[in-house]
């Protein structure tokens, strides 16, 4: 598949979306950003207030969208956002993170969450959003 650059107006809208999501002046969508290529910020969630984000921008018949995974030391989101729209689609994400797990969950529920989180990690690795 031939790689094409993201049109400047689409790149600007995606950058604005990221600016609203993570107000940290991360210039993620630079000139020369290509469609269908995964971009990752260097970062470690083990560092307080650090942000890791991976994303790609793609085009389909209805228009452009960006799919991304963002993780901080207390938050994660895996989403698809359709450029120029207010809505986004929640995609597979981890459960029971950041000390938010209920102490009263059953062993079976805990096992289900572990299995779910492994499946999510496998999906994120396959998409190129996280490393093995």
CB atoms within 10 A of CB 21: 17
Indicate if the pLDDT at residue 47 is higher than 70.
no
Q: What local confidence, expressed as pLDDT, does residue 75 receive?
A: 79
57-105 pLDDT per residue, tens: 999 998 999 999 998 877 789 999 999 888 899 999 988 765 555 667 7
42-51 average pLDDT score: 62
Q: State the Cα angle at 3 between 30 and 53, rounded to 5°.
A: 40
Indicate if the pLDDT at residue 35 is higher than 90.
yes
For the chain, the farthest-separated pair of C-alpha atoms sits apart, in whole angstroms, at 52
Q: What local confidence, expressed as pLDDT, does residue 106 receive?
A: 85
Short-list 46, 41, 21, CA closest to 29: 41
20-46 average pLDDT score: 81
- The proportion of the chain whose per-residue pLDDT surpasses 90, expressed as a percent, equals 52
Q: Supply the DSSP string of 74-108, one letter for each residue.
A: S-EEEEEEETT-S-EEE-----S-TT-S-TT--HH
Residues 6+ apart with CB under 8 A from 47: 73
CB atoms within 10 A of CB 132: 5
Q: What local confidence, expressed as pLDDT, does residue 92 receive?
A: 94
CA torsion 17→18→24→25, rounded to 10°? Answer: -80
């Amino acid at each position: 598949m031939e790689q094409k650059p993201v049109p400047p107006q689409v790149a600007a809208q995606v950058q604005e979306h990221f600016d609203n999501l993570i107000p940290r002046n991360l210039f993620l969508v630079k000139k020369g950003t290509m469609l269908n290529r995964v971009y990752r910020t260097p970062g470690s969630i083990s560092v307080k207030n650090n942000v890791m984000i991976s994303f790609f921008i793609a085009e389909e018949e209805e228009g452009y969208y960006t799919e991304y995974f963002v993780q901080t030391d207390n938050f994660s989101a895996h989403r698809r956002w359709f450029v120029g729209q207010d809505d986004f689609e929640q995609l597979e994400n981890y459960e029971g993170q950041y000390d938010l797990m209920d102490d009263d969950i059953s062993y079976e529920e805990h096992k289900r969450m572990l299995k779910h989180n492994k499946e999510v990690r496998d999906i994120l690795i396959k998409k190129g959003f996280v490393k093995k």
